Every structure is written in structure tokens, then in C-alpha cells.
Amino acid sequence: MLERVRSAASLGVRAARALRDAGILHPVRPDRAARLPLPYLRFGPVPATVGAISALRFPGRTALIDERGALTYAELEERAAALATALKERAGDGRIGVLCRNHRGFVEAVLAASRLGTDVVLLNTDFSATQLGQVVEREGVGLLVHDGEFGAAVDGSGFAGDRVLAWTDGGAGESIDALVAATEAEPLNPDRSSNVIVMTSGTTGTPKGARHDLSVASLLPAALSHLMRVPVRSGAPIVVAPPLFHVLGFAYTSVGLGMGMPLILFRRFDPDQVLAAIRDCEAEALVTVPVMLQRILDAARDEPRPAPSLRAVVCGGSALHPHLSEAFMDAFGDVLINVYGATETGWATIATPQDLRAAPGTVGRPSFRLTIKILDEDGAEVPAGETGEIYTGGGLRFAGYTGGGGKKVRDGLTGTGDLGHFDAEGRLFIDGRADDMIVSGGENVFPGEVENLLGEHPGVAEVAVKGVEDEAFGQRLAAYVVRKAGARVTEDDLKAHVKKHLARYKVPREVHFVDELPRTSTGKVRSKTLDG
């Protein structure tokens, strides 16, 4: 009992220190402070509430910087309120879909939709016209806010609902700017809270819409864990590079807005532009995915101190290979943080720079008040060092897919579909997807282990490993490799490299050299499009 009290007291001290260091306890004018609860009472735990509260706390502070300039928190709130008023009758009984790149229009559309109590569906900008049509029909989208560049895809999707342009370089169509300019905001009191529906990546099947039960009780522990392990500060600029429709980009957009951080956004990722923006704005935080991290590292190769203002570089969305994390920290300093989670579960673990130095490849330790267990096929917990399926519980609660169905649940814990193990220090490692594991000649093989090893070879720039059918062995490994510029590494070289470090049955039977790996907009390899 005494030990629990001491542990709780220690946690309280660390939490208070984290709040202080993050600048959360920012003084607010008394008249504004009195109004802070009103947005929550009106809209509930939604993005509109985050934007409205930050406008009260930091009205003159920069909220967002994109290719069209900067908006303050007060200006962003005014535009969102006017847009909500303009859109309040236009979705009918349907949802509002957002098909936008990273810019102010995306943020304004989400803030406006959630003010209305209308569900908002975040759509992948990589969708084909056919895929877009299937998703908007299934999700019941009645109004689509999209960038002008996606007009042809929307036309070809068969979508017959209302449309508004979020970003356009000219051409026909009603725009957010025109609606905001022509509309005076009205007080809104929706009779329900909005849901933000994030689509799964679709790398293992058709993208599905994930719903969550959001409440202060479920969000607070995750927010507290984040503040205690990720050194972001109120008012310090943050570059969000992953697509905002992805759970990682959307989560850190919400973090930035809630903490009064200027969000720096680009419609298209360019490592040189990102580095320039970090320097020019003295950004202290960067959010990225591994493939972007590699390109930023490549762009800064010849610079002794590429980005001295950075205090936190948060990476997630796909596997962060040990050779990349170590190379990045050697160049940029010990600022890298690896987060693991899923569209369905939110972030589950956070690996600090110290974790990554001590145990390269780890995704860290569980977030505060979040349970993670590694279970075997029978649902029994496996000991440290042994691989099983990862199950999570607590924190952000997955409420099922919008089209029906859900994830596997055992004793109140939700299956992630990922395989992993804990080390003796309680750090989690991801060994691969449960559906990626292959059986070759009677042996279980995880492609991710071989992929990590090949990625360390000095002649390899990028690599993907997958299982393909084999008449003799059932399945075999095939590797797809992008050589580094000027490298002459051969198939035999790479097979010998794997054979030197791993068991013979883990050596890929074939190695294909390719110019590039097919990837999603969030950097995940589209393994199904690789020829077997």
C-alpha cells in the first residue's frame, strides 16, 4: 500500500513538472477564463471545442502557417464559425467528407463540421475515383469538401451530393473563402456531438471507417503520457508532415491546436522545404513517418547541425528500422521519439530517445493507464521475449467500424493484428503483422526481421520483404530492394548478409532490384502490388 502511495505521488510530481515545462498553465484573462467551459458544454469532446478554447486562451497567437500565409487562433475560430453557419443545412442527413491535403482548408472544414454536430469523414487523398465512390456511399457522405485537384476523382466517383472547394488555384466551384466572406457566424447549439471518422490504411483490405468513444476520462491519460515523454511546448511551432487525414497527422494537429502551437503545413512533402521551415520558424517539433524521416536525413547529409531548434521529432505510422533511428539521432541529436498505435487504438506506446538508444527498434513502453498484453493463439499471456499478438485496453476506446464489425476482443482487450514481444525492461517490439507471418518449410518467419537486417546493409536505400507462394516449401521470402545511389550490391551479396546473421530458412529465395517501392501517402509499402 505504501509503495502505491509513493508511486502515485511520484507520478503526480512528474505530471505537474510536465505541465509546467509544456507551458500548459498559461494565464488567461478573467473574462475569457469564465467562458472556457462553454465550448465543451455546447459541442462536447470534439475538434471545434479545442479550436474555440484555444481562441479564448491565445487569440493573437499564430495558429497555422501554410502556403497562403498565417492565421491567428482568433482568425481561425472566426473562419470556422462562419463556415459552420454556411454549411449547416447543406449536408442534409448525411456526413461531411473532407478530401484535402495539408492546409488551412482541411482544419477549417473539420472545425466547422464538428461545430454542427455532424459526423466528419477524413478521406484518403490517394483514393481512386472508384474507391472514393465506394467509401462516400458506405459512409453516407452528403457534403464533400475537397481540393480542386481532386475534382476529376469526385466527378468519376458518382458522388451526387453537395460540394465545396477547400483549396483551388482557380477554376469553377464554390470555395470555403467565398462562403466565409459572405457569411456572418451564428450561435450554434447542436443536439449531439460530432464523430470524427478516420479511415484505416487499407493496406490489408478495403479501407474502413473507425469510430471511437471519446471522453475526457479516456483522452486525459493519453494526453498526460504524451506530455511526460514528448517535450512539446505551448506556443512553439510544430511541423506536421504526414497527411492530416491519417491518425498520426490528425492527432498531432489536435495536440498543436490544443496547446496553442503554430501548425506548419505543406500540401506536398518536400524535405528541403521542411528543413527550411524548421530553420525559418525555429520549430521545436516535427511529426513524420519513417520514409519522410529518411528523406529529411538524406537532405541534411552535409550539414553539421541541420535543425538546432528541434526538441522533439515524433515518428510513427509504420516500422522505424533501428539503422534509421540511430543515423537520424547521430545527425540531429537525441530528439527522436517513436510512437506505436493504430487507427483503431490511438497511440499505445511511446519510445523516448533514451529507449531508442538502449534498445534500437523498440516502440517503447505503454502509455499511462493503458494495458498491453502479448497473447498466444489460446489467449494466454506469453512471457517476455516470446512473440504473440498484441492486445490493448484502456485509453482511447475503439467503438467498431462504421460499416459494422470490429476487432478481436479478449477479456476486454482489443487485438491490434500486430505480433510483438516485450523485452526484460518492459519495452515493446513489433515483429510484424499477424497476416504477414509465413510458414516456410515448417518454420515461422517474420518478414520484418529480415527487412530490418537488409536495411542495415550499406548498399541498400529501401527494402520490403514479403511472403510468396512456393510449391516445395509452402511459402518463401522475396525481397524488393532499392539500391543506394552508386551501389553495386548484388543478390548474392544480400543473401550472404542475411545468412551471416540469421538462420538459413530466413534467407530470401529471391531478391528483386527495383527503382522505388510503391507506398501509400503515409509511407506504408503496398506489398500487394509487389510482384511475387
Rounded mean pLDDT, 48-74:
96
Give me the phi and psi of 132, to 5 degrees please. -60, -45
Cell numbers at 76, concatenated: 481561425
Please give the pLDDT value at position 19: 64
Q: How far apart are CA 225 and CA 232, in angstroms?
A: 12
Band (381; pLDDT cuts 50, 70, 90): very high
User: For residue 212, is pLDDT > 80?
Assistant: no
385: left (phi over 0), alpha (psi -120 to 50) or beta: left
Give the other-Cβ count within 10 Å of 256's Cβ. 28
Alpha-carbon Rg of the chain, whole angstroms? 23
Q: How far apart are CA 264 and CA 238, in angstroms?
A: 6
Closest by CA to 195, choosing from 406, 432, 399, is: 399
Beta-carbon contacts of 9 under 8 Å, excluding residues fewer than 6 positions away, are none
pLDDT tens digits, one per residue of 353-374: 999 999 999 999 988 778 899 9
Rounded mean pLDDT, 95-118:
96
Domains in the chain, ordered, with CATH?
36-199 (3.40.50.12780), 271-433 (3.40.50.12780), 438-529 (3.30.300.30)
Rounded mean pLDDT, 496-515:
91
Edge to edge, the sheet with strand 209-213 lists 162-165, 141-146, 95-99, 120-122, 196-199, 209-213, 397-401
Contact in structure between 443 and 471 (CB atoms under 8 Å): no
Q: Could you tell me which residues are beta bridge partners of residue 346?
A: 342
Q: Where are the beta strands (DSSP E) in 58-156?
A: 62-66, 69-72, 95-99, 120-122, 141-146
Residue carrying the nine cell digits 467551459? 37
Q: How far apart are CA 265 and CA 258, in angstroms?
A: 16
User: For residue 399, is pLDDT > 70?
Assistant: no
Rounded mean pLDDT, 82-87:
96
User: For residue 301, is pLDDT > 90?
Assistant: no
pLDDT tens digits, one per residue of 405-461: 556 788 888 888 889 999 999 999 998 888 777 777 677 788 888 988 999 999 999
Rounded mean pLDDT, 133-137:
94
Residue carrying the nine cell digits 498526460? 224
> Residue 516 carries which side chain, given as an amino acid letter?
E
Give the other-Cβ count within 10 Å of 516's Cβ. 9
Please give the pLDDT value at position 445: 82
Give me the phi and psi of 388, to 5 degrees please. -155, -175
- Measured between its terminal Cα atoms, the distance across the chain in Å is 58
Residue carrying the nine cell digits 502551437? 261
pLDDT tens digits, one per residue of 241-290: 999 999 889 989 999 999 999 999 999 999 999 999 999 999 999 999 99
Lowest mean pLDDT: which of 49-53, 404-408, 519-523, 525-529?
Answer: 404-408
H, E, C per residue of 206-247: CCCEEEEECCHHHHHHHHHHHHHHCCCCCCCCEEECCCCCCH
Residue carrying the nine cell digits 486525459? 220
337 DSSP assignment: E
Cell numbers at 497, concatenated: 548478409
What's the burial of 481, exposed, middle or buried (CB within 10 Å: 0-12/13-18/19+)? buried
Q: How far apart are CA 110 and CA 237, in angstroms?
A: 21
Determine the angle formed by the axes of helices 322-332 and 290-299, rounding to 10 degrees. 40
Cell numbers at 411, concatenated: 477479456
Contact in structure between 57 and 28 (CB atoms under 8 Å): yes
Q: How far apart are CA 523 and CA 520, in angstroms?
A: 5
> Residue 398 carries which side chain, given as an amino acid letter?
F
Give the other-Cβ count within 10 Å of 408's Cβ. 14
Q: How far apart are CA 328 and CA 131, in angstroms?
A: 36
Band (484; pLDDT cuts 50, 70, 90): very high
Residue burial 344-368, b: 16+ Cβ < 10 Å; e: rest: bbbbbbbbbbebbeebbbbbbbbbb
Q: Where are the beta strands (DSSP E) in 345-493?
A: 346-351, 362-366, 371-375, 388-393, 397-401, 409-410, 413-422, 428-433, 438-440, 443-445, 460-470, 474-483
Between strands 388-393 and 371-375, the pairing is antiparallel
Please give the pLDDT value at position 449: 86
